[in-house]
Structure 1
Amino acid sequence: MRPPPEALSLLREGCLDPESFKEFKLVKRTQLSHNVAKFRFALPTPNSVLGLPIGQHMSCRGKDNQGEDVIKPYTPTTLDSDIGYFDLVIKGRFKYQPGQVRVFGMLAGGTSIAPMFQVTRAILENPNDNTIVHLIYANVSYEDILLKAPEGWDGGVGFISKEMIQDQCPAPAPDIQILRCGPPPMNKAMAAHLDVLGYTPQMQFQF
């Protein structure tokens, strides 16, 4: 695990190396929901601190349950006042099955449209899959929109708001799921909006 480059100048003395990944021992795993777990990692000594600035993320490398290498950014849920360990809350791998939900709400930003496009295309190309898709896709400018179709845009503009999600995505229900994928600040904002709107952890998945 290592901090992102933008955090280097802010790092206090801690256990992370900005130039290379370091190994930390997993000491406890707590299941929080059907596909979310909290992982506690031990730092080198009982008095060690992680040393990551508040609000920053670090790159984590490991293998998923299918043996594939994965590198993803995570923000610890602990602070440097938690001495000797740090916690990461991690959601399980997404595997799409036709008809697994009635409706998908999708929130994507920039290049993170890729997994949404793949799931949507799989639905559209399967004549037996009646899953409905609602997509909100955010970009800095019109020129940044990937995989766009016709020229011209008369849709919404601005940041994805709580009201926009409420208007465009399916309401909270046991048979819907909200998929989100974007830069860490966007993911954090979307998670906060979804929580306020009443979407449970089981109704959400972050790529």
Structure 2
Amino acid sequence: MDSLQSHRNEIIGISVALAAIGVGSAYYFYLSNKSESKLKSCLDPETFKEFKLVKRTELSHNVAKFRFALPSSDSVLGLPIGQHISCRGKDANGEDVMKAYTPTTLDSDVGYFELVIKMYPQGRMSHHFREMREGDYLSVKGPKGRFKYQPGQVRAFGMLAGGTGITPMFQVARAILENPSDKTKVQLIYANVTYDDILLKEELDNFPHSFPDQFSVYYVLNEPPEEWSGGVGFVSAKMIQDHCPEPASDIQILRCGPPPMNKAMAAHLEALGYTSEMQFQF
């Protein structure tokens, strides 16, 4: 009797073990397939692909947000954090023109990607976006760029952005803040001419409210409105001292803006003791 019971227990044990192996294997293949699907990018670094404009939202007289559909509702663009895409279009003379842009979306935004574009009067690619209507297609290839963000690669980022240079900063900051395990701090200085030139202000203002210990933003304007509490003029070395992490081996200062600003920021950072290893220019 005891032998029979022992034999039954052994069979039950083997069955449970096999079931566990089956469940474990199924789960492993599920994770593998899920991981593999995440690696499938819609982008091609060598060949332009066409993406349909499905929504255009005017943000100001010369700024609009463009939403482009990906091939399927569960597709991802496949753009590493901190990199950009090349967009091709036609200028006012009908000639091909190409320019780099950084989406404000991440691969957590499935099925689409978005670009926030400031359209300058004389800009060749600006003309193309100004003429784009819902249903039109944009030629895109990528990813491009030298910067690839990995969670926790530094203790803190200082960010110096000017005008449309905010887009790569926004992408990196959003990736950090939306990752609960990433405790990297972000201190942003964002410079513009007027208040109306500030891009993504609502989103940027929400970050300190949601992540008060991890994100701060300091706005600087050349032509501020009355009752302005931010910085005035150009970004100075004192502003960097007050609103960016101090020089250290575990911090990095990212900068992206018009060439004169980039040149001035490089001089300020060098004078303040930031080494070349502590800096990156998009």
Question: Hey, which bits of structure 1, 4+ residues long, moved more than 2 A?
Answer: 67-70
Aligned to 1:94: 147
Q: How does 1:64-75 map to 2 (within 5 A)?
A: 68=142
Aligned match of 1:116 in 139, 163, 169? 169
Aligned to 1:128: 181
Q: Does 1:158 align with 2:233?
A: yes
Deviation, 1:68, is 4.6
1:194 corresponds to which of 269, 273, 280:
269
CA distance in 2, matches of 1:194, 1:134: 15
Aligned-partner residue type, residue 187 of structure 1? N
Q: Give the paired residue count.
A: 121
Call closer, same or farther: CA 1:97–1:69 in 2, change over 3 Å. closer
* SS of corresponding position for 2:263: helix
Q: TM-score, normalised by structure 2?
A: 0.41
- Give runs of aligned pairs for residues 39-78 of structure 1, distance below 5 A: 68=142
1:183 corresponds to 2:236: no
Q: What is the alpha-carbon root mean square deviation over aligned residues?
A: 2.2
Q: Which structure ranks higher in relative contact order (CA pairs < 8 Å, sequence separation ≥ 6)? A: 1
Letter in 1 for 2:183: N
Which structure features the higher share of helix residues?
A: 2
Give ranges in structure 2 of 5+ residues lacking alignment.
Answer: 1-140, 206-226
Separation (CA, whole Å) in 2 of partners of 1:195 and 1:68: 32
The one of 128, 132, 141 equivalent to 2:194 is 141
Distance 1:194 1:100 in 2: 20
Q: Could you say which structure has the larger radius of gyration?
A: 2
5+ long unaligned stretches in structure 1: 1-66, 71-91
- Taking the aligned partners of 2:229 and 2:201, their CA distance within structure 1 comes to 13
Question: Which amino acid in structure 2 is aligned with residue 123 of structure 1?
Answer: I
- Which of 149, 152, 159 lines up with 1:106 in the alignment? 159
**AA in 1 matched with 2:192:** N
